[in-house]
Amino acid sequence: MKKSLLTLILAIAFAAPVFAVEKGSMEIVPKVGYVIEPVMVAYKDAGEKYGYKQEATFSLGADFYYYVMNNLGAGVGVNYVFDSKFNDGWNKRDSMGATNIYVAVKPVFELQENKFIDKIYFLGQLGYGMTRYDNSGYYGSKKYNENGLYWAIGAGVEKSNIIVELVYSVNYFKIGDWNGSYTNRRTAINAGYKFSI
């Protein structure tokens, strides 16, 4: 999945002519997302790795960008991923979600004389993820999580201030006193509206 996303990003980058998004511009972008089949990956001490799929879910988020130079925005953002239950392979009564706070970069490429798309852009996010793991359906109480790193990469398109983007993200965390470490990997399709300020 990562290789195909990277290939798509590079193909768009080389095909798009670059025009200036003015330095000093600012924008706020609220968005809603559909998370396609998240996966929790468990890394055990013996070097073994296991993946456990979850049900699809939704997310809400918002980004703020300031253009530090033409075509390059830097900013901050937050997103809330709603909890979703596990599918077969893990306890189906358990659920997982996350809240992520991050810094972000957004290089923008404006398309000349394109009827369908005004701009394309790439996203890079790095921050702190607060993972929620609820196993109260099985144990009767939630287990404490040790939160950790969050990162994401993606690409998007803009038409008349409406944005649509594809984002791949990873949260790192631990669950209570259980051995090993965990990640929650998600691919999301986001849609939103850009407000210039």
**Confidence band (pLDDT; 50, 70, 90) for 14?**
very low
Between 132 and 190, the more confident residue is 190
Q: Quote the pLDDT of residue 195.
A: 95
DSSP letter for 172, please. Answer: E
How many whole angstroms separate alpha carbon 9 and alpha carbon 7? 5
Q: Quote the pLDDT of residue 81.
A: 97
What dihedral do alpha carbons 159, 162, 164, 167 form, nearest 10°?
120
Read off the pLDDT of residues 62-117 as tens digits, 9 standing for 90 and up: 999 999 998 899 999 999 999 999 887 777 788 899 999 999 999 999 877 777 89
Read off the pLDDT of residues 15-55 as tens digits, 9 standing for 90 and up: 444 445 778 899 999 999 999 989 999 888 777 888 899 99
Q: Quote the pLDDT of residue 101.
A: 98
Handedness of CA 131, 133, 134, 140 (dihedral sign): negative
Read off the pLDDT of residues 130-180 as tens digits, 9 standing for 90 and up: 999 887 766 655 666 789 999 999 999 999 999 999 999 999 998 877 778
Q: Quote the pLDDT of residue 142.
A: 64
Q: Quote the pLDDT of residue 49.
A: 87
Q: Quote the pLDDT of residue 23.
A: 81
Q: Quote the pLDDT of residue 12.
A: 44
